[in-house]
Amino acid sequence: MMDRRSHLDGTAVALMVLLCATWGVQQVAVKVANAGISPLLQAGIRSAGATILLWLWSYRGGVRLFERDGTLLPGVTAAALFAAEFALIYTGLTYTTASRSVLFLYTAPFVVAVGAHVLLPGERLGRLQWAGLVCAFAGIAMAFADGLRMPTRRELMGDLMVLAAAVFWGATTLVIKASKLARVSANKTLFYQLAGSALALPLASLALGERGIVVLSPLVLGSIAFQIVIVAFASYLAWFWLVAHYPAARLAAFSFLTPLFGMLAGGALLGERITGALVLAMALVAAGIYCVNRPKPKS
């Protein structure tokens, strides 16, 4: 029988902090690799590498990925949304900073919260969750206002692309929660998304006439390897292991740390300008994420 705990112990807390730091640094890795590989091709390479690793891991563990179980249609839908999400993230990062992109990307929990409130019975928002939505909206508005004070509008274009990616991310989560994908292994659900985007993104890159691979410096290769092995493979499997052993709602509350780590990584590793308004916007969004993911009190 699976050992499932009712609270977060030291192992879970430490692992969640590490995962949030990893996901925050991911934006920096993407931006670094964009200098050597065009965005859509880079995203496709990431998905392809992670697909191979996931298939090998599933084969080793006896997890079936190809049996017929009625999940093909929702799986393809999730894959298309996943591909669109990462196309927008990787392209958006050619316009905006990693610090700003992670803030807009992590509006996805609010898309999920509102969508679940409307579409999924039993997942209605409470007062704390609504307060979190208002708090996050204020943070997003402040971040856009901060962008308007910049010398150019490039950042705003990238911000809007990453914000659209957050909507696709939220939509992917809702498709999974509301379909048969919620009842199959996490490996198979992730495999649909990775394999589908591994096929779609390079084709989109070719169709749009992207420049492809320009330079493969050690830094670019290291960034790609980090995205494939650490982010798209190891961190996702670690997250699924945590969800299987600990309360998902308590784990999700930790996601407020990710945009904070992303902002710190952008400033420390890329020398990005971190304004006071952006710091306050990040704090409001982080607080909103925490409130939205807090479990509602039992009546």
> Which pair of structure tokens corresponds to residue 106?
């992590």
pTM for this predicted structure: 0.89
Q: Residue 273: what pLDDT? A: 85
Domain borders along the chain are: 10-293
Q: Residue 3: what pLDDT? A: 59
pLDDT tens, position by position, 184-198? 998 999 999 999 999
Residue 275: pLDDT above 90? Answer: no
Pick the closest to residue 228 from 51, 37, 41 (CA basis).
Answer: 51
Percent of the chain's residues with pLDDT above 90: 53
Residues 76, 112: contact at Cβ < 8 Å?
A: no
Q: CA-to-CA distance for 47 and 83, rounded, in angstroms? A: 9
The one-letter code for the residue type at 72 is L
Mean pLDDT of the chain: 88
Q: Rounded mean pLDDT of 55-66?
A: 94
Contacts 24+ apart (CB under 8 A), 14-20: 15/238, 15/242, 16/242, 16/251, 16/254, 16/257, 17/254, 17/257, 19/235, 19/238, 19/239, 19/242, 19/254, 20/254, 20/255, 20/257, 20/258, 20/261
Q: CA-to-CA distance for 143 and 158, rounded, in angstroms? A: 13
Residues 230, 46: contact at Cβ < 8 Å?
A: no
Residues 54, 255: contact at Cβ < 8 Å?
A: no
Residue 170: pLDDT above 80? Answer: yes
Residues 81, 175: contact at Cβ < 8 Å?
A: yes
Q: Range with the lowest mean pLDDT among 35-39, 133-137, 193-197?
A: 133-137
Residue 1: pLDDT above 70? Answer: no
Q: Residue 148: what pLDDT? A: 67
